[in-house]
Structure 1
């Protein structure tokens, strides 16, 4: 017998709500979400009937430059203007009829939605997505230029080693809607066995980090990737 939502452990119930919000907001609506730099290796992971090409993920008119086409994150994850980061992320979520961006944009908007106490505009009836005080981090894969990536990590254990996701704790979740859209999977990712566990996602991480290989840079020296916490927020702080 399958478990009902009320029977799930508390953190799985919470992340079910987060998953549903992402899929039903502008971040996840079919025909309203576009990706600026789709990765071919990820597109090929989607079931054939749901697979798109790189061009298929681009917003009509993406080559134009007027305001709103296409837009990208105005704040880097290391910004000290944390309130500005969240405010602008929520504006992108609530004011745009369509969402277009790279992984930075998806992490920016998802993180902002997770830490806000109060939604406005078309999501004004939406309750806070996470319990107040929950740790929320913008995380990156850094190192080899072509592998660089950003995503959001929720509830990472305080004693978890930054560069070893296996130490992040049993109640830690990753949200990567940029990846999820290309592979036709759920945005919430559990890193150990559970309802949101994604074998292919974890295998992609394992293949990418450390992923030591010869760099394309002029030096041609071996490089490797690592996980890096870029900025930390607390749910309910904004």
Structure 2
């Protein structure tokens, strides 16, 4: 039987029922809810501090009308961060390795920022398609290039998140398989390979956090251009 390394990216099923929706809803169960007491526990205090610092850093360069997105983008950041980190645990499934999920998040949010710009400041939004001081012969070419780059943005958002997580999972599985095969043949090499796997796992935890942050940061930049 030939093992397929891409089987880990298939949606798990139980009694023929896909568990994809359960994997998407699980992160919200793991976070504690704020209590009505004046003083909360350390977990809630740390969670609140993290969200406050993240929102402050993300929305500092954004104009006041864009601050309405603070709660939504902070929630999306926590959601993506939890999905990415949970997918690194054994016997788990990572929904953010699916391009359909990431594009389903990227395309509507990107389109919302574009529509906000077209509604509130259409002149400025259309002005992004043509840099100031462009020579007249280059105007049609630059408008076409900037339009293409505008429509590539959601694709780049989704593909970046999918490619980074998929490549990391595949590399971890390849190294783990090599360590398991070499354990009975060359134990010393297997131990060295396991150490490499441990270092790669630490790196993948960092990549999971960074990619969730980059996804939200780019959405914040798109929002900044249109408010």
TM-score by length of 1: 0.29
Structure showing greater relative contact order (alpha-carbon pairs closer than 8 Å, 6 or more residues apart): 2
Give the structure with the larger strand fraction: 1
Give the structure with the larger helix fraction: 2
